[in-house]
Structure 1
Amino acid sequence: MLLPISNTSKSSHKKQLFKINQFLNNNKRKFLGLITIFFILFWIIPSPSNSSVYDSSPSIISKLFHGAKKSPRVMIILAANTGGGGVLRWKSEQEFAIERLSISNKRNYCLKHGYGLVVKDLTTAKRYSHEYRESWQRVDIIKQTMREFPDTEWFWFLDIETLIMEPRMSLEDLIFNKLDSVAERTVQQFNPLAFPINIPHVDYSEEPDLLITQDCTGFNLGSFMIRNTDWSRLLLDIWWDPVAYEQKHMIWDHREQDALESIYASQPWARSKIAFLPTRLINALPHGACGEDPNKHKYFYNSLENDFTVNMMGCAYGRDCWSEMQGFMTLYEVKNNKWYNKIFGI
């Protein structure tokens, strides 16, 4: 049975509602201000789950947010024409798809291991097109990223037509914790360009600051790692020097690759800090990238041996980049989406 509400209770209830309405009216501006600030922060500042993925052109508030936190030990640098324009032509739909696939692949890897990812937009490369220095941008981009993240120890530069095939493996376990055993300090074992094996005044006892690979054409710069040191900044400055470029650009077929090879061939200070990783470790190539080379076991991708990274080097010249990326991505899904991977996270 419902009891009747007394006049006293009704009066008390009306007084409470009146006080609440009066409080809301007096503080309306404050509430609106707080709601506005909340939505601004929600849309501009990235969520904690994306804290290791960096935008190449963040807003002012985002810059402040990133600057306040600790930089990751490893930063992956991915250069892409995300805006839609290239240097000399517009991109195709397949090129857009390749970029989205590649960026997603690197982002997932970074989130898994706590690394950073910065995607650099290459549309500004039009400033280099008059002298065809587009491919030299990787040097300029690394220098810029080092300035943006001065506390990061290692930078891993990757071309867009690459895929990390074994996301379970961290770079510490794969390379950094066993660098002395995994890296070659000389070209004695593999020397496709016939460099002099020894030159005077090279000190191989120094820790390497540049980790690169070789293939049938020499140095492969589609995937390489550089440590954030004074030596590295000096190397980048000399490597980028337009004087050498202007003197040699008519005979250097591979441009920035030839420039680095020239430095390695003649400069002991540079050779002392450069080491070579096995090509299939961070830069495995698909069959056809180097023709039927007798050394194909050194650099052609082998899924049975769990090669870490694949690079569709030169796919735009006589091959199909999109088909190759799709094929390796299908293999990636097969290798990494097994039931025990999902249950145990391995």
Structure 2
Amino acid sequence: MQFALPPRRSPNSLPGAHSSRLPLYRRKQLKTVAIFAVAILTLLYLVSHLFFSSSTSIGAPAGTAGVVIVTLLDRQSLSQSYIDKIIANREDYAKRHGYTNFFASVSDYEEAISDDPRSWALIPAVRHAMAAHPKSKYFFHLSPHALIMNPTTSLKSHLLDRTRLESVMLKDVPIVPPDSIIKTFALEEKDVDFILTQDSEDLSPSSFILKNGDFARFFLDLWFDPLFRNYNFAKAEIHGLDHIMQWHPTVLARTALVPQRMLNAYSKDSSGASLDGSYKDGDFVIRFPACDEGKAQDCDELDPYYTMWWKKAKGS
């Protein structure tokens, strides 16, 4: 009987002699490919990250307004004729400079503010404007008891330009006048996200500019926190802001104070203006604080200034 014999092997060949070289070579190839792949993926990540950062650093793409003017109207306490004047003032200014208006009603936020003073509604109103205009760069909140008196002046030339802002911001001054131990920082324009004024007693959020971005959303959420709203501050959101600025350096480090007349001049009949904070002809904005406290549906103090503005608007 014959049995099949296994094929003979060459005396010089050892099991796996050829196959051992091939996997080693392939491993080197794969290692090289993996290194290149990781390098390419890292590069793509960095490029995409930089692009994403620049796109969310708040430019104003074509077709979007660089500035949104936010006006919160309490239609339950203001007459329609008064509201019409405020709207006309804002619309004229926005049309001149390519800005967008966002008119909100306090009643839209009654559920959010619950039993809190109605003035707290300015915060969700600004948040609402940001959600409605996510690509706009700046949000300019302006009290309904204020008029833009210099219609030809753009916010950029007046305040937002880098050189301009850095030259007028108040440095090393008490946050809450007259003698708060917490003082403003010396900032560069690129580090500023929040611009506002103060009067003789407090910060004055009736008129402020907020730059769109992560800080803005964080700041508005912090300011509207129930902890502050339930604290029963005498001046509600104003004293809440005073507190935040003095106890939260993260916010203060992004905030620029400017002289009152640049953004929030008080009428001569209103008390509480800071030194040189009362309106003078040519100022950008005039505000009527007494109207916030009045019960009447019309603010008679506004009428002569509205006539002055109307003549300027028609003549320019």
TM over 0.5: same fold? yes
* Counterpart Cα distance in 2 of 1:263 and 1:129: 19
Shift of 1:336: 4.2
Question: Partner of 2:68: helix, strand, or coil?
Answer: strand
Shift of 1:135: 0.9
* Counterpart Cα distance in 1 of 2:142 and 2:170: 21
Shift of 1:130: 5.0
Contact 2:267 2:286 in 1 (8 A): yes
Contact 1:223 1:282 in 2 (8 A): yes
Question: Partner of 2:293: helix, strand, or coil?
Answer: coil
> 1:166-181 residue pairs with structure 2 within 5 A?
166-177=150-161, 178-181=164-167
Contact 1:210 1:273 in 2 (8 A): yes
Contact 2:195 2:256 in 1 (8 A): yes
1:187–1:296 distance in 2 versus 1, CA, 3 Å? closer
* Counterpart Cα distance in 2 of 1:282 and 1:217: 17
Q: What amino acid sits opposite 1:131 in the alignment?
A: D
> 1:180-259 residue pairs with structure 2 within 5 A?
180-188=166-174, 192-198=177-183, 204-205=187-188, 207-246=191-230, 248-249=231-232, 252-259=233-240
Indicate yes or no: 2:152 matched with 1:159.
no
TM-score by length of 1: 0.67
> 1:274-289 residue pairs with structure 2 within 5 A?
274-289=255-270
Question: Partner of 1:137: helix, strand, or coil?
Answer: helix
- Aligned match of 2:299 in 322, 342, 345? 322
1:264–1:336 distance in 2 versus 1, CA, 3 Å? same
Aligned to 2:97: 113
Could you list the per-position Cα deviations for residues 40-65 of structure 1 after superposition, in whole angstroms to 9, with x for gaps in the alignment?
xxxxxxxxxxxxxxxxxxxxxxxxxx
Gaps of 5+ in 2: 1-60
* Counterpart Cα distance in 1 of 2:108 and 2:84: 19
- Aligned match of 1:300 in 262, 266, 278? 278
* Counterpart Cα distance in 1 of 2:145 and 2:65: 24
1:310–1:71 distance in 2 versus 1, CA, 3 Å? same
Moved more, 268-277 or 307-316: 307-316
Contact 1:185 1:274 in 2 (8 A): no
Higher Rg of the two aligned structures: 2
1:118–1:267 distance in 2 versus 1, CA, 3 Å? same
1:324–1:196 distance in 2 versus 1, CA, 3 Å? same
Shift of 1:204: 3.5
Aligned to 1:80: 73
Contact 2:70 2:139 in 1 (8 A): yes
Question: Partner of 2:291: helix, strand, or coil?
Answer: coil
Shift of 1:257: 1.0
* Counterpart Cα distance in 2 of 1:162 and 1:131: 26
* Seq. identity, %: 23
Runs of 4+ that moved beyond 4 A:
318-321
* Counterpart Cα distance in 1 of 2:182 and 2:224: 25
1:129–1:144 distance in 2 versus 1, CA, 3 Å? closer
Aligned to 1:137: 121
TM-score by length of 2: 0.72
Gaps of 5+ in 1: 1-67, 342-346
